[in-house]
Structures are given as C-alpha cells and as structure tokens.
Chains A and B, each alone.
Chain A
Amino acid sequence: MDFTLNEEQLMFAETARSLFADSCTPDHWRKMMEAGQAIDPARWASIVETGLTLVLLPESAGGIGLSEVDFALIAQEAGYVALPEPLVESAGVAAPMLASLAPEHELLGDPMAAIAIAHPLNPFVANADSAAAIILHDGGEAFLATPDQVTLVAQSSIDPFRRLFRVEWNKANATSLGKGADWDLALDRASVFNAAMGLGLAQRAVDLAVDYAKDRQQFGKPIGSYQAVKHHLASAQVAIEFARPVVMAAAADIGHRDAQARARVSHAKLVALEAADKAARASIQVHGAMGYSWEVDVHLFLKRALALTQSWGTPAFHRARIADRLFNQPAGPDQTFARESDHA
C-alpha cells in the first residue's frame, strides 16, 4: 500500500505544466477565439515533440507505455490551462484504442495525427473536423474513417474550443477495426481523464479568484480579507482536496475492470466535475459583476466543466454505476481497496 506519486510521474506532470504555462495563456486563447481557431498547430507540435501524446500508448505501437495515473496528471495540467487541443481524447482514449485493435496502423506512426472517437454514450464527436481519423461505433464493432469519408453536422458548443459534430457515415466508406474494441475501457479512460481535467479547471478557477481577491479593494480592504469571500473559496478547495485522491485511485484502478473499478471511475468523474462547477461559480461570485463578463477568464473554465460534465456519461449514468457497486458488492470499512475477485 503506497498512495504516493513517484518521481517520474511528477516529472511528466511538471513537463506538461511548464509547456502549457508558457504557451497556453488566456491572451493566447482569446486570440484563437477571435480568429475562430480551435487548435494551435504550433502548440500541438510542441506537445507532440515533448512526447505527451505517447505517454499512454503501448511500446508496441511506438509509445512510452506508462499508466493511466501518469496520463491523469497530464490531463490535470491540461485542465488547469483549459487546453484547446484534443490531447486528452486523442492520446488518452482514441489512440490507445486504435493501438489495441491495429497496433501497426500508420496513423500511430504519425504522432501529429489527432484521432477523434465516437463513443455510443456521446451523441456528438469532439474535434471530428480536425482529426486525421475518427473511430466510429456500430453494434460493438469499431470502424475508422477520415473526416472526408463521413458527413459532419456541426453543433456549436458553449465552450468555444469544443468543436462538436453529429457524424453521419456509411460502413461502405469506413474501415472495420474488428469486433474486439473495448468501449468500456475507452469510457473509463475518458471519464478519469475528464475528471483529472476537472481538478485542473477547479484549481484554476480558485487560483484566479484568489489573485483577484488579494488585489480588489472594497471598503478600504482587499475583498479576500472578508470571511464571506474566504469561505466561498475554502469550500471549493475542500471539494478539490476530496476529489483528487478519488481521481488518482480511479486511474490506478482502471486495469481491474470490475464493479469496484467502474464505481470509482464514476465517482471520480462526478466529484471532480462538481468541484470544477463549484469552484467556477465561487470564482464568478468573488469576481462580482466582472466575473459575469467576457473579459474575465473564469467563464472558459466554467464552460469546459459544463461540457465535460454531460459528455462521456451523464451524472445519472455514473451515479447508477456507483449504486450498482454499493448495492451488489460488499461495502464497509474493509472494502476500500477490495476487488470483486476477492468475493468470487
């Protein structure tokens, strides 16, 4: 039993943090918004160059073969800057799925190629237009198509960096990847990484409000010295602190593929995105009327949290998976790390 992160894990997170801090500033994404741009090719190139897209990919497919815990730490950093590029869905969910079905596929040899994925739980596919290929679902079977082999119906999202599409496609124009696709694993990975992004979004919303509250004066004092303001932000921080170990344990649990692991993944997605929502709303409140304006950056973190909350399984879907574990598996204090197989 050792619930700590090792040096290598912290190193990758630090690499991602400094890369994003330098390149993914609010000024930069505001310019992208004005230009209607969802992806910055230069930043994507530096992400690829740093190896972040290879972290979760198995060595057999040219990757580094690290774990979901490692990738979750990177996803957390992506959330902290509200990263526009589809690093998490492509490198954390779609590419590993493609690698498991077709490890020799040429797309995997091109780390610049982002891959989109249409999971049966998601009616809309994110970033389908800029992807090199889209993984599609039909009756449990996975197919691959390029954007020009399908019809994309754009659906504008409240989050300016989420380019969503309804994908209409025909099997005749797609390549079958066979029936071996593990859609549940894709869901669990996406859920945990979205949860990790939620932690990052939440912390950023708190940090933005803290900076503002130290600076902004009312009644002759910084507003951050008032208890009412402190308590909004402290409550948000409590939510973050109690979501973080759940996200990390869920990431470490994914390989087990049992009711316990599924419940923990769902728990992580629920509470991390609730923390993000709570933190974003606290941050807006602390910013006052400025917080409701386009000018202050908080709204982008709120909008990303909104988007991630309802995709990859709604809160009701995830709550049902936790209920399934609670009511059908042994519960209690000796079951924190128990496995379903212990009760077989």
Chain B
Amino acid sequence: MDLTYTPEQQAFRAEVRAWLTAHVPAQPLEHFDATREGFEAHRQWEKTLKSGDWGMVTWPVEYGGRGLDLIQWLIFEEEYYRAGAPGRVNQNGIFLLGPTLIEFGTHEQKQRFLPSMASGEEIWAQAWSEPQAGSDLAGVRATCVQDGDDYVLNGHKIWSSRAVFADWAFGLFRTPGTERHKGLSLIFFPLDAPGVTVNAIKKINGHVGFAEIFLENVRVPAFNRLGDEGQGWHICMATAGFERGLMLRSPARYQVAAKKLAELWTAHKNSADPALEADVVRAHMNADAYALNIYQTASRLMAGAKIGPEASTNKIFWSELDIHLTQTALAILGPVAELTHDAPDAAPVDWIDDYIFALAGPIYAGSNEIQRNIIAERMLGLPR
C-alpha cells in the first residue's frame, strides 16, 4: 500500500491543471438540459477538450482517447472539478456506452462511434427505460426485427436523459416472442431517423432533461447492434456496473461541494445553528470516504480485479451523501435557501438547485431500493 502520488502522477496533475486554467470558460455555461443554446455551448466545450486531447482520457489512443489508467483518470477528474469546468454533456456516451463499446464492440464499431463520441461531434442519449420497465429493465417491450442487413425498431422509450437535443441513442430491444432477459439486443439509432419522435419531459426543475421516444418502423443497419442478438442483457449489466461502480460520479464532484459547504459554514457560523457544524464535518467525511473507496477500487481493478456487485454500494453512498450535503447547506442558509439564482438576494452558490438535483440520485441508474436488493442477494447471499 502506497498512498502517495508518483512524480509522474504529480507531473500529470500539473499538466491537467495548466491546460484547464488556460481553457475553462470564465463564465459558467448555461445548463445543457435548459436550452438548445446551453446544449450547443457544451458541445463546443467538448470540442475544446478534444483539441487538448482531454475528451476521454481512459480510452485507447486509436479511438480518440489518451490511454490513461484509472488513477490518472481520478487525478484528471479532481483537477476538472477543482477548476469548475463545465458538466459533461456527453456523459452517457463517454462514461456508459464508451466503456461498453470498448469491451464488446468490433474494431469497426469502435472506429465508427468512439472518436466522434470523444470529440462531442455526436452526443448520446440513453434509451433504456420504458413506461412498463424502469428498475425492472428485463421487462422492455420495444422490438427489433431483422430485415436483410437492417433492423426495424418499434416501441416506446421514456426517461431518456439528453434525448431532446442529442444526436444518437442506445437502447434495449426485444426479438419478438422472447421473454425477460432472453432475446434482448443493444442497438444504436440516430434520434433524427425517420420514424423517431422525441417528446420533451420537463424535470422537477423545469429543464427538458428527459424525453419519451416513440419508434415507428425505424430502420437502422445491423451494424448498429452491439454484441450478438440476444446478448443485450449481459452487455447492459456490464454498462450498469460502469455506471454505478466508478465512472458516473467521480468523487471530486462531492469533494468540491464539501469544500464549498465548509466555506459556507465559515461565512455563516456566527448566525447559523451551531449544531450544523457536525453535519458540515460529516459531509467532508463522506466525500473523503467516497474518494478513498474509489481509489481503492481503482487500485484493485488496475491489479487485475473485476468490479462486482459491491458497485451497488457506491451508488447508494454518493446519492445519500449528496442529499445530506445539500440539505446541510440549505439549513445553514436559512431563509435565503429557497431563493433561486436569479433572485437579488440569492446565495452565490445555487444550493437549492443542487439539492433538487440530488433528489434524483436515489432514483436514476437503478433505484436505491433495487441496489439494496442487489447487495442483499449478490453480496450477502440472501434469497430472492
């Protein structure tokens, strides 16, 4: 065990810091789920990142990445959040689909999809859930029927993050006549293909971050199927592992938030309830614990281990720490807490927006109830 950075890792941190200092926009961008303009400004930022070769640091160089290891990825993320760089509009592509494609895609598929994902030229939405299949993803009903060299897709997807403005989506489709986990395939489709209708769904904060997607005889080449027909469930479980386990929420996000919370406390401690200091300290502890846990997982994976059902513990931990952290900020702010960022007396940090966003944490990427079932059944061995 050696919990110090090597000189190479320190030099890498300095390199990332210098580049971000020179390139991170001085003014925060409008949120990518708020308007088309905000979305396109973030696409532009993805292109800027790519110009410095920072689009997707862990991917192989030949597919538009930088070929870095997981510890370097963590250092990159730490510097990224420290610099206050814009959110990643293409996170569905780069953190979910990207690693899945690298593991299961053919060379041709990787060449076709990965570089344009890393550069922001093509921004991806996920199209997993359906009205009757949320946490019970094996219940999807949307169908795929092979016709010559194409697939014909039909069905109704919902809760598709980014789909309103994105270019492409990946979803699970069923070969007609199959049931549950069998007969599912992971297929990509362009969101502007004939037969695709995208209807925005406003989120709790008014942003159009979700959509429902109707597919009516949408024709895509069979090339767009990842893995074999019927292998979709297996592939999706791997994708979910990336999402819950490591890549979806890097610890730096919460460490920055915990730092801001400590600053908020310092500024308000003469007027706020003294008992809140314990919550501020707790938020810092939680963010630190999450970082240590991820460093430990990254070290294990680099030593050859595979990520297992313990990935489900991460998702519960970060989603709960996020709610506790933002709730503590609201408690410190008192009456100012309810003001939105455009109010004259609003706090400099939009904690209410962060709190509202945190409320989604226990729901998306598989609800925390489902994660607890996974932990109980696959880690602890309790009966189904």
Contacts and interface: CB of A to CB of B under 8 A. Distances in A.
Interface of A: 1-6, 9, 69, 206, 210, 213-214, 221-222, 224-225, 227, 229-231, 233-235, 237-238, 241-246, 248-249, 252-253, 264, 267, 270-271, 319, 322-323, 326-327, 331-337
Interface stretch (B39-47, B156-164, B283-291): B283-291
Given A69-B1, A230-B372, A332-B259, A3 B289 contact: no
B107 interface: no
A9 B2 CA distance: 13
B79 A227 contact: no
B291 A3 contact: no
Contacts, number: 164
A225 B373 CA distance: 10
B251 A213 contact: no
B299 A234 contact: no
A323 B258 CA distance: 12
A249 B256 contact: no
Contacts of B298: 3
Nearest to A332: B259
For the complex of A and B, 6 pairs with smallest distance between CB atoms: A230-B376, A333-B252, A234-B372, A333-B78, A3-B299, A234-B375
Contacts of A6: 1
Given A237-B380, A267-B288, A2 B1 contact: yes
A2 B382 contact: no
A1 B4 contact: yes
A227 B382 contact: no
B103 interface: no
A238 B374 CA distance: 12
Interface residues of B, number: 58
Given A230-B382, A245-B292, A337-B4, A1 B71 contact: yes
A245 B1 contact: no
B291 A333 contact: yes
Contacts of B81: 333
Contact of B300 (A4, A221, A323): A4
Given A235-B316, A252-B3, 20 more contacts: A1-B5, A1-B9, A1-B295, A2-B2, A3-B299, A210-B381, A214-B382, A231-B372, A233-B380, A234-B379, A241-B310, A242-B286, A249-B3, A253-B3, A319-B278, A322-B284, A332-B259, A333-B251, A333-B291, A336-B295
Most B C-beta atoms less than 10 A away, residue of A234, A235, A322: A234
Contacts of B82: 332-334
B281 to A, nearest CB: 5
A241 B244 CA distance: 15
Contact of A2 (B278, B289, B299): B299
Contact of A224 (B278, B303, B383): B383
Interface of B: 1-6, 9, 13, 71, 77-79, 81-82, 251-252, 255-256, 258-259, 262, 266, 277-278, 280-281, 284-286, 288-293, 295-296, 298-300, 303, 310, 313, 316-317, 369, 371-373, 375-377, 379-384
Contacts of B284: 322, 326, 331
A323 B379 CA distance: 34
A154 to B, nearest CB: 35
A242 B281 contact: no
Contacts of B13: 334
B1 A3 contact: yes
A242 B277 contact: no
A80 B316 CA distance: 25
A332 B256 contact: yes
A233 B376 contact: yes
Contacts of B5: 1, 337
Contacts of A270: 285
Nearest to B381: A210
Nearest to A247: B292
B295 A206 contact: no
Given A238-B317, A270-B285, A1 B255 contact: no
A337 to B, nearest CB: 5
Contacts of B278: 319
A229 B291 CA distance: 29
Contacts of A335: 255
A58 B317 CA distance: 39
Contacts of A326: 262, 280-281, 284
A22 B298 CA distance: 34
Contacts of B1: 2-6, 9, 69, 248, 252
A242 B382 contact: no
Given A3-B296, A4-B299, A326-B262, A246 B383 contact: no
